[in-house]
Amino acid sequence: MPENPGMSRRKLIGLGAATVAATALPDALFRLSSAAAATGPTEGIGYFARFGVTEKMLRDGLSAALSRGADYADLFFQHRVGNSLALEDGEVNRAYASVELGVGVRAVKGDQTGYAYTEDLTPEALVQAAKTAAAIADGPAKPGPKGLKADTSLPSRYPVKTRWEDVRPQQKLPLLSGLNEKVFAADKRITKVNVFFGDEAGAILIADSTGRVVEDLQPMTRLGLSCVAEQDGKKETNGYNVAGRADLGYYSPDRLERIVKEAVSRTVILFEAVQPPAGEMPVVLGAGASGILLHEAIGHGMEADFNRKGISIFADRIGKPVANKFVNIVDEGTIAGARGAINVDDEGNPVGKTMLVENGILTTYLHDSISAKHYKVKPTGNGRRESYAYAPVPRMRATYMLPGPHKKDEIVASVKKGIYCTNFTNGQVQIGAGDFTFYVKNGYLIEDGKLTTPIKDVNIIGNGPKVLEKIDMVADDLVIDEGGWTCGKDGQSVPVSQGIPTVRVASITVGGRGKQA
Amino acid sequence: MAQQDMLAAAHAAVKSALGKGAQEASARTYRVREVEVKWRDGSLEKVHEATTRGLGLTLYVDGRYSNVSTSDLRPEALETFIGDSVTLTRALAKDPFRTLPDPKLYEGQAKVDLLLEDPKYATVTPEMRRAVAKEIEAAARSVQGAKSILSVTTGFSDTLAESWRVSSNGFSGSRRDTQFWVSAEVSVKDPDGRKPEDYAFGGSRFVGEMPKAGEIGRDAAARALSRLGAKKGESAVLTMAVENRAAGRLPAYLLGPLSGGALQQKRSFLEGKLGQAIASPALTLVDDPLVPKGFGSRLFDGEGIAAKRMPIVEAGVLKSYFIDTYYGKKLQMAPTTGGPSNVVWTLGDKDQAALLAAMKEGILVTGFLGGNSNGLTGDFSLGVQGFRVRGGRIAEPVGEMNISGNHLEFWKKLAAVGNDPYPYSSMKTPTLVFEGVQFAGT
């Protein structure tokens, strides 16, 4: 699944061959050095006390950020330890680890943002960065917060029994080796297997100029399995991957079995697969990963920064009908253990459930603090960032469609000539024109209401609002996909989830090159 | 940390790793200063300014391998990190193919100044960045039809990147380079309710050689306005011209499967094709790391191997793979270099207008949207937009279309290569013309 770097700024990719560093630790691998001269806990500072972060440091940093007259400022501290292991040619013979430690300072004046960051967590370096960010404004200093108040109301959407930093590599190795053996045992045509296992122990602390201080511990794990099969001199490759904010217990026997079964079946079926014809036709999207449609067709266009600037195709459409009345589309961060779950967003705002489309009516944009202020609404908890090196912008979390009135079988049976899509690698959208694509890795032709020949490697292209209108059947079988989706926007990547019930799009362009039926 | 400290930190990390039980190690430290100014619709939108630094370390411990990185450079934290990394590595399976490169490959670095660093970097001021961004917006709003413009976002960014690399078997190297980029994004209002957007950007290694602000602004606005009224065309097999700016995606799909990793893992449609025709005779590509001021230029690659020019495709015949030390050993092939630097094309003699005139009927693709390419089978399917070409000239805009094919057939249908290499990328693609391409639309 190669993803192309390109210039595109809003795209969604599946867990490809990313060699992103991440990994595990024997007893206390990659924890903190003893250098962490904590001065005792102060308001809201738990985890980060070990780095010498104090209440005074937060107040001084915020005051410096407001020293040129910004309306608002925040500090975003982050410590993220990533570990990954990879299996190739039968052995777990490579490990990658990364430690990210830094703090970003944002100063906001109106809708203008000054941003700076440093990896040096000393009071001096923080004040220096804060003064750099402060220069977005050019006026008399505003006072910093009088006192700091810890926000202790956070939910617990990803509790873990054991933090990843306490898991030894020896505990993870059998997972990879076991999958390798099972895949080879599952089908004689398999010739190569690659397994990637990644985990993260992340911690963030946000302090803002209203005095709010909030900390969150954010675990993540991903596992990807990719295989190559050979038959009659032909080769095919495919795979399966899963991700969630969870601990080692995530890898239940059921889940591991599913990973093997899906990876193998998705690969070997490609020997029979053909290209669908080119052109417009009805497309049925299978429950689960087809949520990529929502991410591209509407999700990005509903991010309020694009609407605040008037450049989204959905700008000025709030309150208007955009789809059939049985279409309900949600973005939420509350699904326990999901890759797109968060207890708090990266601006410190609470995270709930946001209705993008309710009974076919366009309802709510996805907001960060800046856009919420612009629209005079409460932030929706969508202010997210890749790391301390970036200012937050409105981003999706878990985007999906609620169940509808139809049945899957009824939907497939309704199509005379079309395709049914199940697996995807990536998608992309143009915010203003509304055109979007997603790349189908597996699916079937539908002929006379029945699934027939498998299909592969075909891109689908449509226009967001037009396609929403053309969703004319929605089944009752909602699935939130368990895949390791990563969303890219403005050069920042964040983890997301997506889901959908089986739906029918009455007509959309399929970029095939097969024979016209 | 000062410059000598970052080099010293790399040396110290290697020494520390060896002291903790690694037999071989290489370390890379980096420091990057980046400033970006965004300007939107008459006012400053965002200023992003930071200096980032970090350390990466490759470890070879008792026949085992790992690659680790950290931004926490406090001396005590670093010592703990290296110790933990060695411990982690020991938990893995042995891999007899993992070693540092043969030191002989470090030798013979080109004795040239690649002109990658502008000594005037530090003269760029906040006022200049803002003034240029403002000028770009003014230019965008000066074009004919500007009253359809909804929003203009422009930007100026500059970067000074420094890195140091040390390997325990004798390599030591460093580099400093600068880049300056300007950009514009323009959204316009289409009477049909859409808000088509397009962009323009350009950059250089030297501040004095940046593209003209006015040209970038006018180009972005003209491109966005040219999208007004774009419609989906009919599904058909047509000749396709690809604008130089957009074309870089296509050769990138050839280069990926040329890597040693793809070959050894049996995931390459170009496996076993060395010496064979994989494209029409119109295709000749050279990997040239030594292009003065090039965005992909380097004196040594990511392993320290001295950079050399290397033919990739000559008159359609595949000449080289990208082989690093590890996969070279696994494949029993001599290492070349781990990946492409600058891709230099043998150019044709026509510009875009002349190529379109010769092609007469077809589609000019000016941008891709999503899509993907299967590196094992060569099948690809990509969203496209552009213009219908009629009677040898650009006609109506088309969008929401798709092309698909297989690279092993597609490149044999490369009919012409332009004389207009795109300057703002290491891929340097000219306009390309392919015959018999399957377009999907209505």
Residues B317 and B220 in one domain: no
| pLDDT on residue A21 | 29
Residue pair A380/A330 in contact (Cβ under 8 Å)? The answer is no
Strands (E), A430-502: 435-447, 450-463, 471-474, 479-480, 485-489, 492-500
CA atoms within 13 A on the CB side of A346: 29
**End-of-domain residue from the set A224, A254, A270:** A270
Residue A116: CB partners within 8 Å, gap ≥ 6?
A: A104, A105, A129, A130, A132, A133, B48, B49, B50
Q: Which of B92, B256, B441 sits opposite A92 (nearest CB)?
A: B92
Contact A228 B265 (CB under 8 A): yes
Does some domain include residue B215?
Answer: yes
**Distance (Å) from the alpha carbon of B397 to chain A's nearest alpha carbon:** 13
**Is residue A96 over pLDDT 60?**
yes
Provide the phi-psi class of B41: left if phi over 0, else alpha when psi is between -120 and 50, else beta.
left
Q: Which of B54, B87, B381 sits opposite A457 (nearest CB)?
A: B381
Does some domain include residue A239?
Answer: yes
**Is residue A347 over pLDDT 60?**
yes
Residues A282 and A246 in one domain: no
Residues B283 and B418 in one domain: yes
Minimal CA–CA distance to B69: which of A78, A97, A20? Answer: A97
Does some domain include residue A4?
Answer: no
Does some domain include residue A231?
Answer: yes
Minimal CA–CA distance to A367: which of A277, A307, A323, A439? Answer: A307
Name chain A contacts of B66, Cβ cutoff 8 Å: 94-97
**End-of-domain residue from the set A241, A270, A299:** A270
d(C-alpha B146, C-alpha A285), whole Å: 41
Residues A289 and A428 in one domain: yes
The predicted-structure confidence for A261-274, as pLDDT tens digits, reads as follows 999 999 999 999 99
Does some domain include residue A3?
Answer: no
**Do β-strands A398-401 and A329-332 pair in parallel, antiparallel, or remain unpaired?**
antiparallel
Does some domain include residue A517?
Answer: no
Residue pair A79/A18 in contact (Cβ under 8 Å)? The answer is no
**Is residue A30 over pLDDT 70?**
no
d(C-alpha B372, C-alpha B385), whole Å: 16
| pLDDT on residue A514 | 81
Residues of chain B with pLDDT under 70: 1-3
Residues A368 and A285 in one domain: yes
Q: Which of A2, A29, A173 sits opposite B373 (nearest CB)?
A: A2
- Taking all residues of chain A, what is their mean pLDDT, rounded to a whole number? 91
Residues B273 and B244 in one domain: yes
Q: How far apart are the first and last CA of chain B?
A: 59
Residues B133 and B64 in one domain: no
Residues A136 and A46 in one domain: yes
Q: Which of residues 399-438 of A touch B (CB under 8 A)?
A: 425-438
Contact A98 B197 (CB under 8 A): no
Contact A313 B193 (CB under 8 A): yes
Does some domain include residue B365?
Answer: yes
Q: Tell me the mean pLDDT in the region A157-177.
A: 94
| pLDDT on residue A39 | 45
ipTM of the complex: 0.95
Residue with tokens 């340097």: B428
Residue with tokens 């930071």: B50
Residues A112 and A178 in one domain: yes
**End-of-domain residue from the set A270, A298, A333:** A270
d(C-alpha B399, C-alpha B363), whole Å: 11
**How is A1-24 classified by DSSP, letter by letter?**
-----SS--EEEE-S-S-------
**What does each C-alpha distance from A17 to A198, A226, A324, B66, B90 come to in angstroms?**
12, 9, 38, 17, 24
Look up the domain containing B137 and give its range.
Answer: 121-226
Does some domain include residue A5?
Answer: no
- Structure tokens belonging to residue B202: 């350009």
The predicted-structure confidence for A453-487, as pLDDT tens digits, reads as follows 999 999 999 999 999 999 999 999 999 999 999 99
Q: Which of residues 370-389 of B touch A (CB under 8 A)?
A: 370-377, 379-383, 385
Residues B8 and B93 in one domain: yes
- Count structural domains, chain B: 3
Residues A42 and A162 in one domain: yes
- Count structural domains, chain A: 2
Residues A300 and A390 in one domain: yes
Q: Which of B87, B129, B402, B438 to mutate to test the interface with A (most CBs of A within 10 A)?
A: B402
Name chain B contacts of A132, Cβ cutoff 8 Å: 49-50
- Structure tokens belonging to residue B134: 């403002």
Strands (E), A165-211: 190-208
Does some domain include residue A213?
Answer: yes
Residue pair B183/B155 in contact (Cβ under 8 Å)? The answer is yes
Does some domain include residue B106?
Answer: no
Residues B313 and B395 in one domain: yes
Nearest-by-CA chain B residue for A33: B77
Count of CB pairs separated by less than 8 Å, A with B = 301
Residues A197 and A310 in one domain: no
Minimal CA–CA distance to A177: which of A83, A264, A85, A114? Answer: A85
Residues B269 and B185 in one domain: no
Does some domain include residue A516?
Answer: no
Does some domain include residue B155?
Answer: yes
pLDDT confidence tier of residue A515, bands split at 50, 70 and 90: confident
d(C-alpha A495, C-alpha A398), whole Å: 9
CA atoms within 13 A on the CB side of A474: 25
**Is residue A8 over pLDDT 90?**
no
Which DSSP letter does residue B250 get?
Answer: H
Residues A227 and A288 in one domain: no
Look up the domain containing A99 and give its range.
Answer: 10-270
Q: Which of residues 454-483 of A touch B (CB under 8 A)?
A: 456-463, 465
Contact A115 B49 (CB under 8 A): yes
Residues A260 and A320 in one domain: no
Q: Tell me the mean pLDDT in the region A364-382.
A: 95
| pLDDT on residue B2 | 62
Contact B380 A457 (CB under 8 A): yes
Residues B199 and B177 in one domain: yes
Does some domain include residue B42?
Answer: no
| pLDDT on residue A45 | 84
Residues B398 and B267 in one domain: yes
The predicted-structure confidence for A309-335, as pLDDT tens digits, reads as follows 999 999 989 999 999 999 999 999 999
The predicted-structure confidence for A200-223, as pLDDT tens digits, reads as follows 999 999 999 999 999 999 999 999
Residue A98: give its domain's CATH number: 3.30.2290.10
**Is residue A41 over pLDDT 50?**
no
Whether the CB of A6 is below 8 Å from some CB of chain B: the reply is yes
Residue B174: give its domain's CATH number: 3.30.2290.10
| pLDDT on residue A235 | 97
Give buried/exposed letters for B11-29 (b at 16+ CB in 10 A, else e): ebbbebbbebebebbbbbb
Does some domain include residue B39?
Answer: no
Which DSSP letter does residue A68 get?
Answer: T
Helix (H, G, I), strand (E, B) or coil at A512: coil
The predicted-structure confidence for A111-133, as pLDDT tens digits, reads as follows 899 999 999 999 999 999 999 99
Contact B370 A459 (CB under 8 A): yes
CA atoms within 13 A on the CB side of A424: 35
Query: Structure pTM?
Result: 0.94
Contact A439 B370 (CB under 8 A): yes
**How is A368-422 classified by DSSP, letter by letter?**
-HHHHHHHTS---S-EE-SSTTS--EE--SEEEE---SB-HHHHHHT-SEEEEEE
Whether the CB of B227 is below 8 Å from some CB of chain A: the reply is yes
Residues B347 and B201 in one domain: no
- Structure tokens belonging to residue B416: 């012409």
Residues A397 and A502 in one domain: yes
Q: Tell me the mean pLDDT in the region A50-57.
A: 93
| pLDDT on residue A153 | 86
| pLDDT on residue A152 | 85
Sort B104 into a burial class: Cβ within 10 Å, 0-12 / 13-18 / 19+: exposed
| pLDDT on residue A452 | 98
d(C-alpha A468, C-alpha A36), whole Å: 53
| pLDDT on residue A37 | 40
Residue A273: CB partners within 8 Å, gap ≥ 6?
A: A442, A453, A454, A455, A456
Residues B63 and B205 in one domain: no
Residues A248 and A282 in one domain: no
Contact B197 A311 (CB under 8 A): yes
Residues B214 and B165 in one domain: yes
